[in-house]
Amino acid sequence: MRSNGVRLLVGLALVLGVLSAPPAIAADTVVYETPGCAGAPTWSIRYHLYWSSITGKTLDPSQRQQALDSAEDFADLVGELGQCAVRVRVEVVDEAAAYSDAARTLTPGYDADFYRYPREGDEGYSGLTQGRMATFPVPSGSHWEPNGLLLLHEWLHMVVNFYIPPNGWPHEDVHGACHRPDYQAMRPGWSCMILPEWFGDLMTGKVIEDGIAKGLPTDQWAYQGTPEHPRHLDPELSVSVDSQNVSVSTDYTGDARLMFSHGGSEVSEALLPVVSGVESRRRLDTTRLGRWTVCASTPEVEAFRAATDCSDYLVYPRIHPLVKIRKGARQAV
């Protein structure tokens, strides 16, 4: 799986380190890019490779090379299983400092950070994702290394957290193959957590569930962008009403179109200026009695997809404050 990964040598620290002691300073050492797939959106990933930990654990030369091989495998697999709808650029950083959990941070300008460090033995996991950061001990386990599918598994957790497929993600998303004997039968003896057929269908929107194709169709990768360069996000549009006003909140900034309908027919409309993170309000249309529906719509722009949200309200007959009820009859005072 590593036959043609693009390798850009930026420094020699890690290569020399395979045969010698860890370097004195951290330096970029190598970059692995998904081969081909020109024009596809690219995830930029910082791959932190720690040679030692604060507990005194260290990596031997073969383990360091396994960590590199896994990164190269991962870059190749993204293009192969995603049918070139997406690609990754993995920048390996040769970390001289001893690893500790406190070292984990999200590097500005990068879509994700991967952290690899000498295995302590009590982690209880081979890979762990938190937000846009993933942690992998080295070695991750006798049946994992070198294995780009492990890195792909954790990266797909980030993918699921960011992208919104038109038909949704299948049940248990990344772990879904563990509930699908048909996929498990394709790789007898393999862990259900790293089945490439499942990952491929997940990345191309071809997981059939209840007769519906789920997962992320290939065109959605470019349509939605990456975490650092998002496009057509869900604007999180929300409409609510009280006794007098309609309130609109959204991540979009611009004009929202309000449409007031009564009995299924449009009655009035208005433009409501909205600002991201700020609730905007307007008086309800109460010109008729009965049930109303008010809908707010925001347009498709590069950053956000088009969205609509609606809320119902009732307009009841009101007795004027100066009207009193006397002996079953209504009289004006």
**Domain containing 204 — which CATH number?**
3.40.390
Same domain, 143 and 175: yes
d(CA 270, CA 240): 16
Same domain, 24 and 170: yes
Query: What pLDDT is attached to residue 25?
Result: 37
Same domain, 27 and 165: yes
Same domain, 186 and 263: no
Q: Provide the domain limits for residue 143.
A: 6-219
d(CA 153, CA 158): 9
In a domain, 331, yes or no: no
Same domain, 72 and 172: yes
Can you tell me whether residue 227 is helix, strand or coil? coil
Query: What pLDDT is attached to residue 29?
Result: 65
Same domain, 207 and 288: no
Query: What pLDDT is attached to residue 317?
Result: 87
Q: What is the pLDDT along the chain (333 residues), one digit of tens a residue?
A: 444 443 333 332 333 333 333 433 344 469 999 999 999 999 999 999 999 999 899 999 989 999 999 999 999 999 999 999 999 999 999 998 999 888 899 999 999 999 999 988 778 788 999 999 999 998 766 555 568 999 999 999 999 999 999 999 999 999 999 999 999 999 999 999 999 999 999 999 999 999 999 999 999 999 999 999 999 999 999 999 999 999 999 999 999 999 999 999 999 999 999 999 999 999 999 999 999 999 999 999 999 999 999 999 999 987 544 333 333 333 332
In a domain, 96, yes or no: yes
Q: How far is CA 178 from CA 213, 317, 325, in A?
A: 18, 58, 69
In a domain, 320, yes or no: no
In a domain, 327, yes or no: no
In a domain, 94, yes or no: yes
Same domain, 253 and 140: no
Same domain, 178 and 303: no
Output phi, psi for 18, to 5 deg.
Answer: -65, -25
Beta bridge partners of 295: 259, 310
Same domain, 285 and 136: no
DSSP assignment of 121-178: S----S-EEETTEEEEEES--TTTSS-HHHHHHHHHHHHHHH---TT-PPTTGGGGGG
The domain boundary, picked from 191, 219, 247, lies at: 219
Q: Report how many domains make up the chain.
A: 2
Query: What pLDDT is attached to residue 120?
Result: 85
Same domain, 122 and 33: yes
Q: Determine if the pTM surpasses 0.95.
A: no
Query: What pLDDT is attached to residue 116?
Result: 93
Same domain, 61 and 159: yes
